[in-house]
Amino acid sequence: MSDRVYVFDTTLRDGEQSPGVRLSMPEKLEIGRTLVDMGVDIIEAGFPISSPGDFEAVSTLARELKGVQICGLTRAREKDIDVAGDALKGAENPRIHTGLGVSDNHLQHKLKMTREQALEVGVAAVRHAKKYTDNIEYFMEDSGRADRDYVYTVVEAVINAGATTINVPDTTGYTYPEEYRALIAGIKENVPNSDKAILSCHCHNDLGMATANTLAGVLGGARQVEVTVNGIGERAGNTALEEVVMAFVIRSDYFRVETRIDSQQLLAVSKMVSRLTGMMVQRNKAVVGANAYAHSSGIHQDGVLKDRSTYEIIAPELVGAEKSEIILTARSGRHGLKHRLAEMGFNFTEERFEELYARFLEVADTKSEVGDDDLRVLVSA
Ligand code: KIV
Ligand code: ZN
């Protein structure tokens, strides 16, 4: 089994489905270029039949971006696939991403098909997509809630028809990590031709488990992860690219896999996507949140100032952040205050420092953060 994990970024497709997000063509191109530069392997640029804007996005990125696979989403319908094939014409390595639901819920309520009918439609879609490319990804929507034996049957049939990547979406964010790992591992164990395709994790975050499920899927044998920058996407979003990449970096002892992503670009890309989509990144967001490398309590500050590893598992430089921050608050201790004053060029006798510390605590009790301007006022009084 290869230890390389392919990063499939769907910020421009599933991510753009976030309520309230609409990216212009130049913005999509800017994001696309940045993703290529950062080392993403596959960019899902849109759903070409869904709108002229999506068609244009897929065809422009297909023409403009090199060194990356460009993917267009389709339903399992000939017309969708023809339109995607057309949009992908200029791509160096075009991928068609087609498929349909596999859970009984989707079959009954949405598709109004029997399992057998849906299987036939799916196989026909893959065969049709082969007119345009050999790089075909098949998605089994709502795999997380589907009957396992039916999933195995679908995987075997669509691989025989020509699919080279099998996407196993937990569309509704329903599974928990052990289950999702078993789903992937089960496909590998029970589908005789599963070694002919790469299995892909596509997890939604409805229960806050998208990243955990994706990582579990990789442990189960998946070698592609479908992610978005900042985890944006339908409802509660998708798996966050930056979280998965950094889990592989920081816990390489455990996962033993690699991506091509240059982690030092993660923070800049997160900021860019946040700016262009208008989707704010929560301060405490893992890896790229404003507080991710900030320490506020005295106990933590004392530890970090003695040795960063006491409270920081990610060195900020690894994601392109400048440095850890010591935030002075009412919970900060002497060590934090002394450190900041020294950084500002102030050094005091112990006696004078004790006076300042007492006054600092009074000020800190009146506000959430004591900034450099406050400190200047304190020392000049
Ligand atoms: O969540 C999902 O199932 C999807 C598919 C269209 C791949 O986004
Ligand atoms: Zn999705």
Pair 98, 76: CB distance under 8 Å? yes
Residues listed for the chain:
381
- Ligand 1 center–CA 305 separation, angstroms: 45
Supply the CATH classification number for the domain 3-277.
3.20.20.70
Q: What is the pLDDT of residue 1?
A: 42
In the chain, CATH 3.20.20.70 sits at 3-277
Q: What is the DSSP letter of 110?
A: I
Residue 171 CA: nearest ligand 1 atom is: 1
CB atoms inside a 10 Å sphere around CB 127 = 14
For 211, phi then psi, to 5°, come to -65, -45
Q: Taking 60 as the threshold, does the pLDDT of residue 228 lie above it?
A: yes
- Dump pLDDT digits (tens) for 340-349: 999 999 999 9
Pair 357, 370: CB distance under 8 Å? no
* Helix then strand then coil, % of the chain, to nearest 5: 50, 15, 35
Ion ligand 2, residue ranges at CB < 5 A: 14
- Dump pLDDT digits (tens) for 137-195: 999 999 999 999 999 999 999 999 999 999 999 999 999 999 999 999 999 999 999 99
Residues with CB under 6 A from ligand 1: 14, 139, 141, 167, 169, 171, 202, 204
Q: Taking 80 as the threshold, does the pLDDT of residue 2 lie above it?
A: no
Instruction: Return all residues near 344 (Cβ < 8 A) that are at least 6 apart.
Output: 372, 375, 376
Q: Taking 90 as the threshold, does the pLDDT of residue 358 lie above it?
A: yes
Residue 167 CA: nearest ligand 1 atom is: 7
Q: Taking 70 as the threshold, does the pLDDT of residue 33 lie above it?
A: yes
- Dump pLDDT digits (tens) for 323-341: 999 999 999 999 999 999 9
pLDDT, the chain, mean: 97
- Dump pLDDT digits (tens) for 361-370: 999 999 999 9
Q: From CA 114, how far away is CA 104, in angstroms rounded?
A: 9
Q: What is the DSSP letter of 99?
A: E
Dihedral (C-alpha) 340, 346, 348, 352: value to the nearest 10 degrees?
-80
- Ligand 1 center–CA 105 separation, angstroms: 15
Half-sphere exposure of 360 (CA within 13 A, CB side): 27
Identify the nearest ligand to the CA of 145 by its number.
Answer: 1
Mean pLDDT across the stretch 19-37? 97
Q: Is the dihedral of CA 212, 164, 84, 266 positive or negative?
A: positive
Percent of the chain with pLDDT over 70: 99
- Which of 311, 270, 301, 224 lies closest to 44, judged by CA? 224
Q: What is the DSSP letter of 192?
A: T
Q: Is the dihedral of CA 4, 5, 6, 7 positive or negative?
A: negative
Q: What is the pLDDT of residue 47?
A: 98
Q: From CA 214, how far away is CA 14, in angstroms rounded?
A: 16
Pair 337, 323: CB distance under 8 Å? no
Q: What is the pLDDT of residue 124?
A: 98
Residue 143 CA: nearest ligand 1 atom is: 3
Q: Taking 60 as the threshold, does the pLDDT of residue 212 lie above it?
A: yes
Residue-by-residue DSSP string for 201-240: EEEB-TTS-HHHHHHHHHHTT--EEEEBGGG--STT-B-B
- Which of 213, 193, 197 lies closest to 205, judged by CA? 213
- Ligand 1 center–CA 171 separation, angstroms: 6
